Amino acid sequence: MAFKDTNNTFSDIAITSRLNNVTSFLKERESIINFEKLRPILNKNGKGGKNATGSPAYDNVLMF
């Protein structure tokens, strides 16, 4: 039986600190737009909870 390691590794810390210094359009957009308010609209108009093979579908906000 495998256990999930919840501790951050050195590479996790290094990548997170490096990404905090990067400015990008996507980070700016995320700070301006609250996508959680769009979730009910996207869920209503989106596809079902499973794809054609029966696997869980991608999150509608992520696909938007």
Residues near 38 by beta carbon (within 8 Å), at least 6 away in sequence: 61, 64
Overall pTM surpassing 0.95 (yes/no)? no
C-alpha 63/C-alpha 57 separation (Å) is 10
Q: 4 to each of 1, 7, 9, 13, 24, how far by Cα in Å?
A: 10, 9, 13, 18, 32
Selection from 53, 27, 4, 45 nearest residue 61 by Cα: 45
Q: Has residue 60 got a pLDDT over 60?
A: yes
Q: Has residue 30 got a pLDDT over 70?
A: yes
Q: Has residue 2 got a pLDDT over 60?
A: no
Residues near 8 by beta carbon (within 8 Å), at least 6 away in sequence: 16
The full set of domain ranges for the chain reads: 33-64
